[in-house]
Amino acid sequence: MSSNTAKLDLAEVEARFDRIKQHKGVIGYIIINAEGQYIKTTLDNSTTTQYQSLISQLTRKGTSFVR
């Protein structure tokens, strides 16, 4: 994959997130990796930390339930 294709794909992803942010009731978004660390957020630090913790707990409980 060329670097131009990667940049285009990233631009498309950013554009999709921008469209999601425009939906009524959406205040922002958080992208979290498999380790539970946020990669990108549009929320303030306090809100990001709060949701990051809740999402990590939900993920652990879901994983435990499936096992």
Task: Give per-residue pLDDT as tens, 6-49.
Answer: 666 888 888 998 999 999 999 999 999 988 899 999 999 999 99
Query: Which three-class secondary structure state does DSSP give residue 47?
Result: helix
Q: How far apart are CA 47 and CA 29, in angstroms?
A: 10
User: 33-41: long-range contacts (C-beta < 8 A, 24 or more apart)?
Assistant: none
pLDDT at 3: 58
Beta strands, E only, the chain: 30-32, 38-41
